[in-house]
Amino acid sequence: MTYDLIIIGGGPAGTAAAIYASRKRLKTLLITSEWGGQSIVSEKIYNWIGTSSISGKELAENLKNHVIKSKGESLDIKEGEKVISIVCLAEDGLPQDGGRPSSANSANLFSVKTETGEEFTTKTILIASGSGRRKLEAKNADIFEHKGLTYCASCDGPLFSDMDVTVIGGGNAGFETAAQLLAYCKSVTLLNRSDSFRADEITVEKVLKNPKMKAIKNVNVLEILGDKFVEGIIYKSTKANSQENITLKVSGIFVEIGQIPNTSFAKEVVPLDEYSRVKINPLNQQTEIKGIWAAGDCSNVLYHQNNIAAGDAVRALEDIYLYIHTK
């Protein structure tokens, strides 16, 4: 069977597209390893339109339920699977030019392969695979992961009740993590690499008012200290003429230093930017390859938010529908 559309990803972008595709009765397959995207680890989300406050787990469950209720006969779902490759097919159904796009930047069909070995054929693809967490590159960081160093405050935060902890990262995720930890940790020290915070000013102001909170700018994290578990962190100021290494004693380290797009499966087919994000036309979300669109955190749009991802996916779906029916 050949699908009209395969959607890769079950976050806000992928689920929004699936709901619209079902309503337009496009024969669609949604493939996702999990629901909710990056937001699943958020304790509270305050900017999802239509709700004043919702947890990441609740949002993920709501997205999943909405898709399932919209399923109908035209939408299939492959849950708990990852896509590992996309291959361009010629008219005869065989790989075109080694599975890569031709000089005309188009393909008649595409084959999408999952990690379990299943392959699916489709006319169009929407890449909505989101992004994963960037790992801390400091000495011993890999050794102490899950031993005091974590990338999920919602998962592990309560384990550090009444302890001194640090958050690495000055974006919205870093300050939101700090706000969460302040509810039960003895103290929270946020370390930021640059001289300014990337988080929203209102969030920064609110978090820094807490007497248990401290923020240090211009920090380069060098090493994680400890025996069996984290006992401290060594950092150095990035300011000119600063030579001193500083030790901060903490029992927990929460890392929020950005994302890495989940696009490795598509790198042989669609052009990526220097950050491995899929290059798209912001007018319609289409890539340089006819028949492939991208939306959400995996795309090279300027801003990445849940609401933006959902809107961009709807824009893509409208264009996909037009493409299929006018091709």
**CA distance to 5, 15, 67, 295, 317, per residue, from 20 (Å):** 12, 9, 10, 14, 7
**CA distance to 34, 52, 264, per residue, from 305 (Å):** 18, 16, 22
Residues β-bridged to residue 245 = 236
Longest dimension (CA), the chain: 68
Contact at 8 Å (CB) between 110 and 304? no
**Predicted local distance difference test score (pLDDT) of residue 178:** 96
Beta strand 259-261 pairing with 219-226: unpaired
Ramachandran angles phi, psi of 266, nearest 5°? -110, 0
Please choose, from the candidates 201, 238, 206, the residue with its C-alpha nearest in 3D space to the C-alpha of residue 219. 238
Using DSSP, state whether 52 is helix, strand or coil.
coil
Q: What's the half-sphere exposure (Cβ side, CA atoms, 13 Å) at 270?
A: 31
CA distance 287 to 299: 9
Ramachandran angles phi, psi of 317, nearest 5°? -65, -40
**Predicted local distance difference test score (pLDDT) of residue 101:** 67
**Predicted local distance difference test score (pLDDT) of residue 239:** 82
Q: What is the pLDDT along the chain (327 residues), one digit of tens a residue?
A: 899 999 999 999 999 999 999 999 999 999 999 999 887 777 778 789 999 888 888 999 999 999 999 888 899 999 999 999 999 987 666 676 655 666 555 667 999 999 999 999 999 999 999 998 889 999 999 999 989 999 888 778 889 999 999 999 999 889 999 999 999 999 999 999 999 999 999 999 999 999 999 999 999 999 999 999 999 999 999 886 777 899 999 999 999 998 899 999 999 999 999 999 999 999 999 999 999 999 999 999 988 889 999 999 999 999 999 999 987
Superfamily in which the 2-132+259-326 domain is placed by CATH:
FAD/NAD(P)-binding domain (3.50.50.60)
- Topology alike, domains 2-132+259-326 and 135-255: yes
Ramachandran angles phi, psi of 228, nearest 5°? -90, -30
Write the Ramachandran bin of 307: left for phi over 0, alpha for psi from -120 to 50, otherwise beta.
alpha
Ramachandran angles phi, psi of 201, nearest 5°? -60, -40
Residues across the chain: 327
Q: How many other CB atoms are found less than 10 A from the CB of residue 174? A: 28
**Predicted local distance difference test score (pLDDT) of residue 189:** 98
Query: How is the chain split into domains, by residue range?
Result: 2-132+259-326, 135-255
CA distance 278 to 262: 10
DSSP string of 4-43?
EEEEEEESHHHHHHHHHHHHTT--EEEEEEEESGGGGG-S
Please name the fold of domain 135-255. FAD/NAD(P)-binding domain (3.50.50)
**Predicted local distance difference test score (pLDDT) of residue 92:** 60
Question: How does pLDDT run across 299-317, given as a tens digit for each residue?
Answer: 999 888 899 999 999 999 9
